Structure formats: structure tokens, C-alpha cells
């Protein structure tokens, strides 16, 4: 099996935020867009989902049904809990977890969020591809996609698309040599 890629596929505001200070993403709701903005096609290529605990808790708060059912799903937490029917909680070091997930995954390893986890993945050069969906709103404050202290990294633009008022920017890591 071909080794999978780690992809950061995420929406952000024009001013670089992925959520309000309390984790809310209500500002995503009323944006003029086209269909599902390519989400279904992307999601069909995902084999494994990885997110931080805060993101997981926000997902549970927003939905009645867990949206990533049928996919291997890992929640990274400093205080791992037992596996439940949806996810595996883990405090395993990223340097061992992510290469293993890339080998085992039948599709992309999707880094869902949040900002602290994105920062850690970048620090360890674990992101192969980024797809950023820019929402034409300034929300003024919140959780930054790239928090203060994020280390410099080089990415190469591989494509752009628009979905109504949403701009999609696609990049690959120049460090990892991903495509």
C-alpha cells in the first residue's frame, strides 16, 4: 500500500482564525458558497482523522451524530481516556503515532485541528499538504490557525479554487516533498 499523506484541510477567517475564543465556528454558517465546497470529494479520500481534544469536544457540541463514523479517528489528549465507539484517545508522541497512521491508513490522514495541534505538527514537519478555505470574514479574535510561536515552514502553492465567496488555497510541503 502507498504511504498516505497528512493533510490539513481547514477553514479560516480572513484574519487567520479557525474559531472564536470559546471554540465556536458559527461565523462559517452564512457564507455564500457552492454546494459542499468540495468536502464530499475530499472526505471520500480520508482514511484516518486526527484532532485535538478541544476540537473533538466542539464537534460533539455541534452535532447530534458523530460526523466521522466509519473512519479511524484519533483524539490527541494529554489525559487520554478509554476508547469509545467513535474514537481512540491517545497521548502517544506525534513522531511515532503519525508515521504509523500514515502506513496503516487507507487514504489521507486528516488533521482536523486545532491551532495548538497544527503548531505541533508543523514543528515536527508532519504536514504534507495544506488545503486552506478562506472565509471572507474578519472575526477579530479567536483561535489562530498558526498560533504565536509557530516555527517557519516552506510550502509550495499547487492550486487554487473558488466556491462562491470561499477561496481554496492548496499547498504541499517543500520540506517533506509531498505531492
3-state per-residue secondary structure call for 52-82: EHHHHHHHHHHCCCCCCCCCEEEEECCCCCC
Enter the pTM of the model: 0.91
Q: Under CATH, which number does the domain 6-173 receive? A: 3.40.430.10
State residue 2's pLDDT score: 55
Per-residue pLDDT, 85: 77
Give the model's pLDDT for residue 65. 86
pLDDT at 5: 96
**What pLDDT does 1 receive?**
44
Q: Beta-carbon neighbour count of residue 89 at 10 Å?
A: 16
Distance CA 117, CA 147 (A): 10
Q: What is the pLDDT of residue 81?
A: 73
Q: What is the pLDDT of residue 43?
A: 95
Contacts (Cβ under 8 Å, ≥6 apart) of 78: 53, 91
pLDDT along the chain (179 residues), means of 10: 84 96 89 86 96 89 87 89 81 96 96 93 96 97 94 95 95 78
Amino acid at each position: 500500500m502507498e504511504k498516505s499523506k497528512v493533510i490539513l484541510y481547514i477553514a479560516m477567517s480572513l484574519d487567520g482564525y479557525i474559531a472564536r475564543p470559546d471554540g465556536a465556528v458559527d461565523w462559517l454558517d452564512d457564507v455564500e458558497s457552492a454546494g459542499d465546497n468540495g468536502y464530499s470529494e475530499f472526505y471520500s479520500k480520508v482514511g484516518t482523522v486526527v484532532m485535538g481534544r478541544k476540537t473533538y469536544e466542539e464537534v460533539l457540541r455541534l452535532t447530534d451524530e458523530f460526523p466521522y463514523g466509519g473512519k479511524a479517528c484519533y483524539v490527541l489528549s494529554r489525559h487520554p481516556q478509554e476508547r469509545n465507539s467513535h474514537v481512540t484517545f491517545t497521548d502517544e508522541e506525534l513522531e511515532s503515532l503519525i508515521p504509523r497512521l500514515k502506513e496503516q491508513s487507507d487514504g489521507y490522514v486528516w488533521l482536523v485541528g486545532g491551532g495548538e495541534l497544527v503548531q505541533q505538527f508543523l514543528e515536527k514537519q508532519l504536514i504534507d499538504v495544506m488545503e486552506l478555505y478562506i472565509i471572507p470574514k474578519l472575526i477579530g479574535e479567536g483561535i489562530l490557525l498558526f498560533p504565536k510561536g509557530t516555527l517557519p515552514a516552506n510550502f509550495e502553492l499547487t492550486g487554487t479554487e473558488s466556491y462562491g465567496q470561499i477561496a481554496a488555497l492548496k499547498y504541499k510541503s517543500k520540506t517533506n516533498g509531498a505531492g
